[in-house]
Structure 1
Amino acid sequence: MQRFYSYLNIAKPKTHTELLKAFSMQKIYLYNAKKITFVTSKSGSGGSGARVFKYKYLEPFQFWNSDLHLEHLKKTKCEPHVIVENLDGTIHNINANSKNSEEILEEVLNATNGKKINVNIPLN
């Protein structure tokens, strides 16, 4: 599995401090989320954005939202989508077919009242 820092164009962190800096570059808070389920397809077209979304944002979601339950389902043939369950019980089904990872992230942030905080930290 690819790690999220490969999408930040940085080398594999060698220390905990470097890893924390990498996580800080992907600071994402999902305020109104209870559970997020990523559903990707093993085959078919239009699913690469959903797979990149999973590789790029799954670890930062886990790191910055410790009370959030994350699940990944890999099915044989299906439409890639993200299911967001909010704290109040509402469920949002976000279609990820033929969308890039940034578009999917924007819809997840809207569904959860989330916020991506841009932090520029020098790695040296």
Structure 2
Amino acid sequence: MSNPADLLYSESHEWVKIEGDEALVGITHFAQESLGDITYVDLPAVGDSVSADGDFGSVESVKAASDLISPVSGEVTAVNDALTDNPEKINADAFGEGWLIKVKLSAKPEGLMDAAAYEEHCKNEQH
């Protein structure tokens, strides 16, 4: 699966869609595929602060549990509550209905990759 060109990506396999001073955050197709069937998602509450490179929750699958690492800093303005009852939405549509949180940015994101650089990063991880 190709990674959408309008998104930015972190080394820990989160994606970010920047819209003005807000960012939509999720995990990538590569991440959900590596995890397998996702069975549980733990997300922050609206109003919580997240910091770039800091944990903001976790996902659990039949294979493993994995921390979610924020690619941005700011305040959580929305949480995808649909994932509480349907965490498999992440497997089905990682770049769409499987989004995790929306963040009002407190700083410009740094160190994120474009789609081409992220695809190269994933190839290197598979070796």
Give the TM-score band, short-chain normalised.
under 0.3
Between the two structures, name the one with larger relative contact order (CA 8 Å, sep ≥ 6).
1
- Say which structure is richer in helix: 1
- Say which structure is richer in strand: 2
TM-score (norm 2): 0.27
Higher Cα Rg, which structure: 1
TM-score (norm 1): 0.27
